[in-house]
Chain A
Amino acid sequence: MDELISALLRALAFGTPLLLASLGAVINERAGVVNLGVEGMMALGALAGFAVAYGDGSPGSGSVWLGILAAMAAGGLAALLHAFVTITLRANQFVSGLSLSLLGLGVAGLLGKKYEGFPLFGQPNQWPFTIGAIVLALLLAFWLTSTRAGLTLRSVGENPAAADVLGLNVNLIRYGAVAFGGAMAGLAGAYLSLVYRPSWTDGMTAGLGWIAVALVIFVGWNPLRAIFGSVFFGLLYYLQFRLQGKTFIPTEFFGAMPYLLVIVVLAFAGLRGQQGAAPEALGRPYNRGER
């Protein structure tokens, strides 16, 4: 019983950044925009958060809460770049997102040099983040399905032409959704550099952003399922070490599990023709007057 509880606690700790980032991605994808830049935005958020919270290194010179705001702003601004390229300029969303990942990692690595090697003391407690993320998931689920604004967002992602005819500003709504996604990725980054590590190193996101991207598909663009999805991923991640040496299964198998699972789920969805869970207009730039 104790083992189960300790495993669940680790799953929540590791799952929190995944949940935060994937909730953001669910929203921007529900509005019809794919953003593969999560990893890069997370790295920028992690650096911005750490830099502001660290200050000049003396106690009291930085502020953790300002750090969190800075991380969200950094992620949000990077996402706006993606929004401009894909929504206004109608460039390919996948290419733009990939570039954003590379750019974010590179820029964060370059600017972060002077923060490498320093610990952060007085870091915030994990639980406000974890509980906040779960509450946010519940709120978003309700918002998406039961409010007019949520319906508007979904209609922009499903059928932007119809939404346009109804007088909705498709581009503006998409801009908002993408910025929200970026801010959440930035927040996930701040969780890593302020709570989970807590320090800054180049490459510290180590692929978590990509897991979050995969998670969105895994949970079928559903914020409620994202809670279980991220905790489940967290559990698998932790168990690869907890079970190591205790079973005949090689550790590499546990390490590969999350990714294998995504593939299996996608394959099943494909077989049963359920790719329909994805927003209809996902990945396609909206061109007014074009069908």
Chain B
Amino acid sequence: MKNTTKKLLTAALALTAAAATQAGAQDAKLKACFIYVGPTGDIGWSYAHDQGRKAAEKALPWLETQYVESVPEGQALPAIDRLAKNGCKVIFTTSFGYMDDTVAAAKKYPDIIFAHNAGFKRAPNLATYMADFYQVYYLNGLVAGALTKSGKVGFVGTYPIPELKRHLSAFALGVKAANPKATVNVKWINSWFDPAKTREASEALISEGADVLSSAEDSATGVQTAGAKNITTFSHYNPMLRFSPGNVVSGHIVHWDKIYIDFLTKVHNGTYTNKNLANVDYWWLLSKGAVEMGADMGMPINAKFVPQLKAAKMTVGGKTVSVYDRVMALEAEMSKGGKFDPFTGPIKDRNGVLRVPAGKTMSIADLNSMSWVAPGVVGQVADEPKK
């Protein structure tokens, strides 16, 4: 119901904005429009996309943008219809659940260029894109494994979809590498944005002994809850150091603007048209600067935790190294596109089934359809294959 009001308000604003632009100079600007699943102020996913939109608008003088926020998944079509009417030439739909609506819209509006975020279905005028965190989750896992004293690391999961299983597993592989005895205890909230559920799920994890906490929900509530209990935690999606300066050790930060600027530039100069996008899939990681490891922009690890991480040791290829050095070395290697990959075999899932053979790494398609979870994950995981 809230969304209806929002839509009405946004529509009213959009009309005003449209009228204003028409009144202004008629220089042919490229109009790119965005559909967000949450409020732009969630300090998580939608906020990050909106930051990317703003940065792109700033960087590209020929660009104008518009957005619609809090559009429920599965209800993207009406929003797309409205944006199409408003003259959008490029439409970004920024949630996994918009996938089928976006595919339908691409058919309905063959002249508009679409880009769907986090999905896998494409069309001549529909590309896909993702800035993925699995490398960063692995690095944060190393940090979490080194810092846990109880051996229990808590993880507040949103939905048990491939993306979350990939991140959870990469995190667990990192935790195990730094601390073979530690586990990652997961609780699912079945929502992208629900601060109260995040709070209570975090409280449950803490009371079960977790002394390091990570959350995938789109607000700073996980960080605040950990901060109130003085336990170590991670930024999610955006810099969250300011919410608990003494407790945020590192985290995962996204830079959607890198993708938006690249994509829109290629639309502007004619590289991308409404006929040639069927094979355009952005899968941008550390090496493209689309993601960053850190408690805050440009701060991979909170200085307060550096001595502890330097003192913590782990074994790599028979040699003992400090966890800090290992994290920094791997971050540097993956940032320049080196060959290290967290999902390099042999990897068995938590039920003992071999999932990645020795010497192989997972393909993007495998990563996008992952249904198993790595050893060390404790808790209910829906749709987990037995064999």
Say if the beta carbon of B58 comes within 8 Å of chain A.
no
Instruction: Check A106–B5 contact: CB distance below 8 A.
Output: yes
**Cβ 8 A contact of B43, one of A106, A116, A242:** A116
Say if the beta carbon of B220 comes within 8 Å of chain A.
yes
Instruction: Check A102–B1 contact: CB distance below 8 A.
Output: yes
Known: A201-B195, A206-B194. A245 touches B379 (CB 8 A): yes
Residues of A within 8 A of B196 (CB): 14, 196, 206, 208, 237
Residues of B within 8 A of A197 (CB): 195, 199, 221, 224
Say if the beta carbon of A173 comes within 8 Å of chain B.
no
Min CB distance A246 to B, Å, is 9
Known: A10-B203, A197-B221, A208-B196. A102 touches B2 (CB 8 A): yes
Min CB distance A213 to B, Å, is 13
Residues of A within 8 A of B189 (CB): 241
Nearest neighbor of B240 in chain A, beta-carbon distance: A119
Instruction: Check A238–B43 contact: CB distance below 8 A.
Output: no
Instruction: Check A14–B200 contact: CB distance below 8 A.
Output: yes
Known: A117-B47, A201-B39. A105 touches B5 (CB 8 A): yes
Nearest neighbor of A112 in chain B, beta-carbon distance: B41
Residues of B within 8 A of A3 (CB): 207
Q: A113 vs B196: C-alpha distance in the bound complex, in angstroms?
A: 20
Instruction: Check B5–A201 contact: CB distance below 8 A.
Output: no
Q: Mark A192-206, 1 if CB is under 8 A from B, else 0.
A: 000011110111101
Instruction: Check A199–B6 contact: CB distance below 8 A.
Output: no
Residues of A within 8 A of B2 (CB): 102, 105-106, 109, 203
Instruction: Check A110–B220 contact: CB distance below 8 A.
Output: no
Instruction: Check A244–B190 contact: CB distance below 8 A.
Output: no
**Cβ 8 A contact of B42, one of A10, A110, A201:** A201
Chain A, range 237-260, C-beta contacts under 8 Å to B: 237-238, 240-242, 244-245, 250-252, 255
Residues of A within 8 A of B378 (CB): 245
Interface residues on B, range: 35 or more
**Cβ 8 A contact of A241, one of B5, B47, B204, B224:** B204
Nearest neighbor of A255 in chain B, beta-carbon distance: B190
Known: A101-B1, A196-B199, A245-B380. A251 touches B224 (CB 8 A): no
Q: Mark A1-32, 1 if CB is under 8 A from B, else 0.
A: 00100100010001000000000000000000
Residues of A within 8 A of B220 (CB): 117, 119, 199
**Cβ 8 A contact of B200, one of A237, A245, A251:** A237
Known: A116-B43, A117-B41, A201-B219. A238 touches B203 (CB 8 A): yes
Q: A116 vs B243: C-alpha distance in the bound complex, in angstroms?
A: 12
Say if the beta carbon of A103 comes within 8 Å of chain B.
yes
Residues of A within 8 A of B194 (CB): 206
Say if the beta carbon of B17 comes within 8 Å of chain A.
no
Residues of B within 8 A of A201 (CB): 39, 41-43, 195, 219
Q: A6 vs B219: C-alpha distance in the bound complex, in angstroms?
A: 24
Identify the interface centre among B207, B220, B243, B379: most chain A CB within 10 Å of its CB.
Answer: B207
Instruction: Check B204–A119 contact: CB distance below 8 A.
Output: no
Identify the interface centre among B4, B5, B47, B188: most chain A CB within 10 Å of its CB.
Answer: B5
Min CB distance A140 to B, Å, is 25
Say if the beta carbon of B193 comes within 8 Å of chain A.
yes
Min CB distance A14 to B, Å, is 6
Say if the beta carbon of B302 comes within 8 Å of chain A.
no
Min CB distance A115 to B, Å, is 8
Instruction: Check A241–B201 contact: CB distance below 8 A.
Output: yes
Min CB distance A141 to B, Å, is 27
Residues of A within 8 A of B41 (CB): 112-113, 116-117, 201-202
Instruction: Check B200–A241 contact: CB distance below 8 A.
Output: yes
Min CB distance B65 to A, Å, is 17
A-B CB proximity, top 6 nearest: A116-B41, A202-B39, A245-B379, A241-B204, A106-B5, A245-B380
Can you spell out 12 A-B residue pairs with CB atoms less than 8 angstroms apart? A3-B207, A10-B200, A102-B4, A113-B41, A116-B47, A202-B70, A203-B70, A241-B189, A241-B203, A245-B379, A245-B380, A251-B190
